[in-house]
Amino acid sequence: MTPTLPALDIASLHDFYRKGGNVTDVIEAAYARIEEVNDPGIFIHLADKHKVLAEAKKLGAFDAAKPLFGIPFAVKDNINVAGMPTTAACPDFSYLPEKSATVVTLLQQAGALVIGKTNLDQFATGLVGVRSPYPIPKNAIESTLVPGGSSSGSAVATARGIVSFALGTDTAGSGRIPAGLNNIVGLKPSLGALSTTGVIPACRTLDCVSVFALTVDDAWRVFETVARPDETDAYSRPIPAKGFGSVPPVLTIGVPANADLRFFGDTAMEEAYGQALAALEKLGYRLVEIPFADFYTVANLLYEGAWVAERYAAVKDFFDAQEDKFHPVTRRIYGGAKMLSAADAFNGLYALQALKKKLAPVIASVDIFCVPTAPRHFTVAELEAEPLRENSRLGTYTNFVNLMDMCGVAVPTGTRRDGLPASVTLLATAGKDGLAATIARQLHVASGLTLGATRWRQPAPAQVEPSDVADDLIDLVVVGAHLSGMPLNHQLVELGGHFSRIARTSGDYRLYALAGTVPPKPGMVRVPQGQGAAIEVEIWRLSPAAFGQFVAAIPSPLGIGTVSLSDGTSAKGFLCEQIAIEAGGKDISSLGGWRAYCSAGEAVLA
């Protein structure tokens, strides 16, 4: 007996396939859902159903080696799919690519099936989703509201349960704003993590391909499938999919200071943000208020000299030849760029560099940030009245992110008192995609929300398995001052290290509080079998280069040796020379670890 068609999250679909379900049934259901939703603004081009069904049949029986086997997805129409026209929401710009974008090719190789190309703010310029000559996609939750952009069609297709996930792009928030306004997840990767080869650029130095999904697990599955360097992309860099599923036991979250919060009169959104922060505290995280005025100053740069000129440069020849073919608002923005000089561009770059330097210690003072995804919901009528002002306001908490080389995940957190969706975005420095996604996942699960605009319930969170892409990283056993929340932990973080897990050593070690160390540090030594204790430690992971740099800076009497763990494995980790113990070290082994000793209030005496 064929199992009943499930929800479109990846876990449910793969369970359906394992039980004998057919991919063709899922594809038929996706096209039936398009008819049922009846929103002509979502797709600019639909794939021929018969061709997609033929591709589905070729997949055969369920293949667990394909991480996206039989998963339907949509693609923003500024990303190439071979055989489908690319328009960037400008019909006169349309062309038929012979080759798919790198990310699309990787997804298809993983078993995913393209359903169609989605609508967008023309040339990915806008956060509203209404700057298109095609019909405007309807917000999936409330049709009078803007859907958000520029990846409007991708977000709505996902929220309405037509596809399991969709690709967008993100330069100023286009992969986050539509997610927040449509009750879905929007993963904005670190710059360079996903190839942009085959993507029409907006601001090439800031662009990234983003992922819309029903759950964080699904967004991460897509991300780890396509996060790899691409020699054909000059801005590609090796940022492996790592760190998902693990959070350090001590973690601080930066939030905008109350005086700096901006909701533009939307008290329901302000209340919902406060509730999300309360949920983070309930999960055990410590919140730290951060002055945000300088972040807003960075955000304002995005629509000044350098980056407006960069948008114009991306389509200069076409714009100069056919300016009248552009959407009126888009034409106004690009036309203004023609008046800018090279000096304007350099002045913008200088201003950004100064702000980066000023904000670096602020960003380093916390592990991650939590901001509202959008400051408020806007109606379509409000956007028609003030198209530029309201667009700018939507980007309050998004415009600075790519300029500051940060990654982020927008995640639903609840339903406002007026029934509209609430969302926050977890932001982190480049390479911490896994940490941002992990905390986003915790918030989504805690919310208990149904998925998108469907009535589908969230699936049980999957057990996260270590990813093969992280195999080149080196495990480091951390014992004392480098533990999460301790004074020297920043040294690991600054080298790109990420927390893996809490562990215990085998019972062959003794731990001592060393005398005269600043900050206070312990020393762990190996002793004969039967004379030691199991010590609580943390496992952090570093790249080989970072590991070498870290080890070279460790002062005597500490060093790195091989530490045996209670599960029978071993890893490189902190050990201490015996001479330091003999010089007055205090045996604290009975407490079971350095954190317990510090909690007892005795570390200051060491």
* Cα distance between residue 511 and residue 134, in whole Å: 68
**Helical ranges in 521-577 per DSSP H:** 544-552
Q: Residue 345: in which H helix or E strand, if any? A: helix 342-364
Report the alpha-carbon distance of residue 447 to residue 322 in Å, rounded: 48
Sheet containing 406-415, strands listed edge to edge, beginning at the edge strand earlier in sequence = 43-46, 113-118, 72-76, 165-170, 208-213, 185-188, 406-415, 421-429, 368-372, 252-256, 286-290
Report whether 367 contacts 251 (CB < 8 A): yes
CB 139 within 8 A of CB 182: yes
Nearest to 395 by CA among 581, 173, 576: 173
Running DSSP on this structure, what letter comes out for residue 470? G
Active site residue 174: yes
- Contact (CB, 8 A) for 537 and 481: no
- Residue 456 is encoded by which pair of tokens? 């589908």
Two tokens, residue 96: 């038929």
Catalytic residue among 151, 174, 447, 506: 174
- Cα separation, 560 vs 569, in Å, equals 16
For residues 345 and 311, the answer to whether their CB atoms sit within 8 Å is no
23-37 helix and 10-18 helix, angle to the nearest 10 degrees: 140
CB neighbour list of residue 363: distance below 8 Å, 6 or more residues apart:
254, 369, 404, 429
Active-site residue, 188 included: no
The closest alpha carbon to 374, from 332, 417, 420, 405, belongs to: 420
Helix (H, G, I), strand (E, B), or coil: what is residue 481?
Answer: coil
CB 153 within 8 A of CB 203: no
Rounded Cα gap, residues 314 and 171, in angstroms: 13
3-class SS shares of the chain: helix, strand, coil, % to 5: 35, 20, 45
**In this structure, which amino acid lies at residue 425?**
T
User: In the Cβ-directed half-sphere of 121, how many Cα atoms lie within 13 Å?
Assistant: 32
Which amino acid, one-letter code, is at 484? S
Q: Which of 100, 132, 150, 447 is catalytic?
A: 150
76, 117, 188, 242: which is the annotated catalytic residue?
76
Catalytic residue list contains 164: no
- Residue 5: CB atoms within 10 A of its CB come to 15
CA atoms within 13 A on the CB side of 454: 24
Please state, in angstroms and rounded to a whole number, the distance separating the CA atoms of residues 394 and 490.
33
Matching residue, tokens 């901001």: 371
Active site residues: 76, 150, 174
